[in-house]
């Protein structure tokens, strides 16, 4: 099915004896079929064709594509419905001409210095368009860093520092984006506020597992009214308030005083879930039509389908992988200790709390694999193949998309080395040396992470 091998180090991974080789070959085939079927160009074209079966014939459509999949999604829009103008904000350069769209290359995971100027350029152009003109907003994960304009009184460095603190503190994407919305002019419906007369239609490729669509790229075109959001409490919970830039704290405290004058913003919300979807939070009735191009749940179902095509019975386990990556990996190792005949798949997105002064190279999927390895080494039992894969092809601060674990890899690891790699957040160095890293390069899409076990 795959036109090419997406896993660049496939030959090295398959340089093992049977039956390990056969099991790895099935695992790699699943990964490659999944990445092929998640191609953002084809997924976006299908969605556009469904929404606009006769195209957009008035010649008044424009495009705003933001995120890791922006280039492919923009190309799909040009090929399927065309566009008079627009912008593509992406972390990678385009390998093809996207005219008449203008490519603005940005940074990820932190915004680049040009981000505010890029955002102002986009908004200024959109504000010049005529009332009722069609704006196709193609939004994908990673857009929070690529499209940014700080609120008055804040510097871009303040936002970047706050985001880094939360990420290193182990914050989920929902928590991170709640704080980001509080500090930005363009997030949480900022495009709609700036350009209220445009006819906006959203197409979203979601990397937020089990979460609302307004969390993808912090929702530049999805307004939200959330009176009980408490970003100050989140900064406290993740232990980063004292290190957060003073201008950020001052602005959030002023917001809290306006929202809760009697408590001066000091009331804490005890239930974490309430901070992300409180009962009194509402999405305004004027929210634009919004379509999901792809998401993590669909990716999980695709893995199940591709496994069936390969003659494998793969069961989708309920819930999502979340929480600390190494802890999640240990839980999976315990679950499958002693092997068994069942094979399983999950979707999700774990977190990593960076507490080492000089962290090495690695990411949450590789830390999950090391968490499973640590448990297996401690208990002396592991059979089967465990794979953890980031759909965007970039796992944290490393060249890998994820990693695999089987008995062959375990023979090349020691408990001491695994502990040291986890403590130093240097999972890639250890797993690459053990022949376990999965290297795809950036895939151009992002629907969070997939993890599967082949017995």
Same domain? For 336 and 279 the reply is no
Task: Give the residue among 383, 291, 284 at the shortest CA–CA distance from 337.
Answer: 383
If you average pLDDT over residues 401-417, what whole number do you get?
Answer: 97
**pLDDT tens string 91-148:** 887 778 899 999 999 998 889 999 999 999 999 999 999 998 999 999 999 899 999 9
| Number of domains within the chain | 2
pLDDT value of residue 2: 39
If you average pLDDT over residues 275-286, what whole number do you get?
Answer: 41
**Beta strand 449-454 pairing with 343-348:** antiparallel
Same domain? For 281 and 144 the reply is yes
Confidence of residue 75 (pLDDT cuts 50, 70, 90): very high
Is pLDDT above 50 for 280?
Answer: no
If you average pLDDT over residues 358-362, what whole number do you get?
Answer: 93
Same domain? For 189 and 251 the reply is yes
Three-class DSSP category at 88: strand
CB 114 within 8 Å of CB 184: no
Three-class DSSP category at 43: helix
Average pLDDT, the chain: 88
Confidence of residue 265 (pLDDT cuts 50, 70, 90): very low
Same domain? For 322 and 338 the reply is yes
Residue 280 belongs to some domain of the structure = yes
Show the domain range for 407: 10-37+296-454
Surface-to-core class of residue 96, CB atoms within 10 Å of its CB (0-12 exposed, 13-18 middle, 19+ buried): exposed
Residue 5 belongs to some domain of the structure = no
Q: Report the C-alpha gap between 159 and 150 in whole angstroms.
A: 7
pLDDT value of residue 57: 57
Confidence of residue 273 (pLDDT cuts 50, 70, 90): very low
| Pair of tokens at residue 20 | 């390990």
pLDDT value of residue 127: 96
Residue 172 belongs to some domain of the structure = yes
Secondary element (H or E) of residue 389: strand 385-390
Same domain? For 269 and 290 the reply is yes
Which of 294, 325, 348 is the last residue in one of the domains?
294
Same domain? For 331 and 279 the reply is no
Task: Give the residue among 1, 6, 100, 2 at the shortest CA–CA distance from 389.
Answer: 6
Q: Report the C-alpha gap between 208 and 217 in whole angstroms.
A: 9
Three-class DSSP category at 447: coil
Is pLDDT above 80 for 380?
Answer: no
Same domain? For 196 and 91 the reply is yes
CB 69 within 8 Å of CB 206: no
Same domain? For 269 and 415 the reply is no
Is pLDDT above 70 for 59?
Answer: no
Which residues are within 8 A (CB) of 13 and not within 5 positions of it... i.e. 6 or more apart? 7, 24, 28, 404, 435, 438
Which of 275, 294, 313 is the last residue in one of the domains?
294
Three-class DSSP category at 394: coil
Q: Report the C-alpha gap between 8 and 438 in whole angstroms.
A: 8
If you average pLDDT over residues 355-382, what whole number do you get?
Answer: 92
What is the DSSP secondary structure assignment for residue 114, as one 8-state letter? T
pLDDT value of residue 282: 41
Residue 194 belongs to some domain of the structure = yes
Residue 2 belongs to some domain of the structure = no
**Poorest-pLDDT segment among 136-145, 206-215, 271-280:** 271-280
pLDDT value of residue 277: 37
Same domain? For 103 and 238 the reply is yes
Q: Report the C-alpha gap between 150 and 418 in whole angstroms.
A: 41
Residue 135 belongs to some domain of the structure = yes
269 vs 299, more confident? 299
Which residues are within 8 A (CB) of 452 and not within 5 positions of it... i.e. 6 or more apart? 27, 30, 303, 314, 343, 344, 345, 346, 386, 387
Is pLDDT above 70 for 240?
Answer: yes
Percent of the chain with pLDDT over 70: 91
Give the chain's count of helices (H) and strands (E). Answer: 18, 12
Is pLDDT above 90 for 31?
Answer: yes
Report the alpha-carbon angle 294-51-391, nearest 5. Answer: 10
If you average pLDDT over residues 348-368, what whole number do you get?
Answer: 93
Secondary element (H or E) of residue 105: strand 102-105
| Pair of tokens at residue 12 | 């090295």
pLDDT value of residue 1: 40
Instruction: Check the CA dihedral 198-203-209-212 and report its sign.
Output: positive
Phi, psi dihedrals of residue 174, rounded to the nearest 5°: -65, -45
Residue 1 belongs to some domain of the structure = no
pLDDT value of residue 269: 30
Q: How many CB atoms lie within 10 A of CB 133?
A: 19
Which of 294, 317, 345 is the last residue in one of the domains?
294
Is pLDDT above 70 for 400?
Answer: yes
If you average pLDDT over residues 320-325, what whole number do you get?
Answer: 93
Which residues are within 8 A (CB) of 225 and not within 5 positions of it... i.e. 6 or more apart? 281, 282, 283, 284
Q: What CATH code is carried by the domain that includes residue 56?
A: 3.40.50.10180
Is pLDDT above 90 for 416?
Answer: yes
pLDDT value of residue 264: 37
pLDDT value of residue 363: 96
End-to-end CA distance of the chain: 23
Surface-to-core class of residue 258, CB atoms within 10 Å of its CB (0-12 exposed, 13-18 middle, 19+ buried): exposed
| Pair of tokens at residue 215 | 């969390």
Residue 249 belongs to some domain of the structure = yes
Confidence of residue 413 (pLDDT cuts 50, 70, 90): very high
Same domain? For 358 and 235 the reply is no
Task: Give the residue among 313, 314, 389 at the shortest CA–CA distance from 345.
Answer: 314
Is pLDDT above 80 for 218?
Answer: yes
Q: How many CB atoms lie within 10 A of CB 421?
A: 24
Question: Radius of gyration (Cα) for the chain, nearest Å?
Answer: 22
Which residues are within 8 A (CB) of 240 and not within 5 positions of it... i.e. 6 or more apart? 162, 165, 166, 168, 169
Surface-to-core class of residue 156, CB atoms within 10 Å of its CB (0-12 exposed, 13-18 middle, 19+ buried): middle
CB 401 within 8 Å of CB 451: no
pLDDT value of residue 177: 85
Same domain? For 366 and 317 the reply is yes
Same domain? For 302 and 281 the reply is no
DSSP 137-167: EEEETTHHHHS--BPTT--HHHHHHHHHHHH
Q: How many CB atoms lie within 10 A of CB 438?
A: 28
Q: What CATH code is carried by the domain that includes residue 403?
A: 3.40.1480.10
Say how far residue 147 (Cα) sits from the centre of its chain: 15
Is pLDDT above 80 for 285?
Answer: no
């Amino acid at each position: 099915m795959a036109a090419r091998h997406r896993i660049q180090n496939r030959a090295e991974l398959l340089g093992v004896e049977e039956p390990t080789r056969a099991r790895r070959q099935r695992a790699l085939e699943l990964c490659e079929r999944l990445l092929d079927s998640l191609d953002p160009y084809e997924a976006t074209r299908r969605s556009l064709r469904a929404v606009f079966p006769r195209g957009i014939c008035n010649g008044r459509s424009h495009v705003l594509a933001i995120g890791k999949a922006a280039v492919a999604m923009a190309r799909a829009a040009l090929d399927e419905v065309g566009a008079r103008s627009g912008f593509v904000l992406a972390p990678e350069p385009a390998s093809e001409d996207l005219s008449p769209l203008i490519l603005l290359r940005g940074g990820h995971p932190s915004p680049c210095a040009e981000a505010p100027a890029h955002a102002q350029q986009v908004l200024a152009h959109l504000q010049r368009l005529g009332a009722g003109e069609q704006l196709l907003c193609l939004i994908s994960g990673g857009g929070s860093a690529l499209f940014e304009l700080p609120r008055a009184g804040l510097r871009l460095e303040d936002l970047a520092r706050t985001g880094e603190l939360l990420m290193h503190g182990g914050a989920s994407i929902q928590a991170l984006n709640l704080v980001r919305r509080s500090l930005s002019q363009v997030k949480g419906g900022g495009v709609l506020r700036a350009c209220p007369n445009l006819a906006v239609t959203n197409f979203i490729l979601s990397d937020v597992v089990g979460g609302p669509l307004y969390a993808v790229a912090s929702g530049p075109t999805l307004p939200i009214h959330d009176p009980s959001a408490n970003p100050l409490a989140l900064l406290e919970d993740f232990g980063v308030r004292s290190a957060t830039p003073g201008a950020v704290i001052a602005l959030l405290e002023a917001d809290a005083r306006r929202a809760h004058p009697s408590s001066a913003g000091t009331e804490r919300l005890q239930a974490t879930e309430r901070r992300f979807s409180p009962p009194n939070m509402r999405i305004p009735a004027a929210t634009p039509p919004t379509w999901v191009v792809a998401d993590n749940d669909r990716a999980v179902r695709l893995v199940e389908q591709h496994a069936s095509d390969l003659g494998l019975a793969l069961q989708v386990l309920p819930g999502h992988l979340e929480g600390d990556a190494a802890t999640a990996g240990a839980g999976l190792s315990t679950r499958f200790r002693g092997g068994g005949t069942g094979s399983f798949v999950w979707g999700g997105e774990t977190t990593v709390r960076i507490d080492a002064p000089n962290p090495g190279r690695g990411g949450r999927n590789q830390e999950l694999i090391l968490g499973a390895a640590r448990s297996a080494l401690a208990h002396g039992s592991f059979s089967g193949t465990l794979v953890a894969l980031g759909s965007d092809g970039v796992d944290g601060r490393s060249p890998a998309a994820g990693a695999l674990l089987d008995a062959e890899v375990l023979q090349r690891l020691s408990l001491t080395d695994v502990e040291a790699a986890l403590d130093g957040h240097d999972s890639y160095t250890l797993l690459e040396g053990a022949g376990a890293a999965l290297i795809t390069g950036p895939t151009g899409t992002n629907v969070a992470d997939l993890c599967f076990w082949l017995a």
